[in-house]
Amino acid sequence: MEKQVKRIGVLTSGGDAPGMNAAVRAVVRTAVGSGVDCIGIRRGWNGLINSDFVHMDASSVSHIIDKGGTMLYTARSEEFREESGRAKALATCRLLGLDGIVAIGGDGTFRGALALSRQAAAAGHRLQVVGIPATIDNDIGCSHYTIGFDTACNTAIACIDKLRDTMQSHERCSVVEVMGRHAGYLALYVGIAVGATAVLIPEHEIDFDRDIVEKIRRARLTGTTHYMIVVAEGAGSALEISRRIHEETGIDPRVTVLGHIQRGGTPSARDRETASRMGHEAVISLMENRGNRVIATRDGRIVDLDMEQALGTTKTFEMDRYQILEALSTSRSGVL
């Protein structure tokens, strides 16, 4: 018979994402409500290495579901990448009597969790881990959706709508750089939602004249005097794009790099609800001795997947959305 889980840890690692607090809250309250002790590990894997932890109960996570960021703080840990660093982390796990860990973050967080579980098994210590995908980039291969994406999109849209007001007043071109690391999900989603003139994403090879200059020219011929170009950070520099637009058209664009503002703010209903469901399922997975799993969304359902297989999954970019953008852009209609 499998050993009953008695005490678990929960941590957030890597870049913060709106909804992480909702996931922490769900993990803690599901565990406590099921008679399982819960320990909060602060500052990600660094906290496990340095014994930075706090005992958590239901009241510990009151009034955090509507807060951005993460109450447990987050950090990246180079030391944890090394076997010696993970050995220190395992020493903390033994000290605390942890049976499992729920790790909230991205691919790097999951790889670290799997490496820790394997190293624990080699040392004769059973430690089950479960990952919850949380990143505004929405680039986790095994999950259709990641916590934080919807809020980040809404934040970017609100900012761009305000920029568009002033660009229209001054008849200017605005080049806006959004986050997303090496993925264009955020840029494309936002670009469609704001009616962008053009969107540059790393998944689509850029022809500068076709994808930007010609669209601006056609829009101008149909009477448009202001233009919105959305650039994914992985597709190039907004400053460089702006410079080339000026050289090719004579227009003097204004550049806005939204940066880390996209990571903050009150999480949306979708992120709160998804995070709550994922956090609940993560604890159930551990209680049912289904460790080394990733909690993911598939066609709107919450599922748990083998972590090793999940890490080997490649996400297929939905280019049909780019075609929708093309059909609706100013290159054809002449209006935003």
> Which residues belong to the active site?
137
Strand partners, 298: 301
CB of 243 closer than 8 Å to CB of 177: no
SS (H, E, C) 100-135: EEEEEECHHHHHHHHHHHHHHHHCCCCCEEEEEEEC
Task: Please list the helix, strand and coil fractions of the chain in percent, rounded to the nearest 5, in that order.
Answer: 50, 20, 35
Q: What is the rounded CA–CA span in Å between residue 141 and residue 301?
A: 16
How many CB atoms neighbour CB 263 within 10 A? 20
3-class secondary-structure state, position 116: helix
Angle, CA 36 vertex, CA 44 and CA 125 arms, to 5°: 60
Nearest to 311 by CA among 185, 144, 145, 140: 140
CB of 258 closer than 8 Å to CB of 159: yes
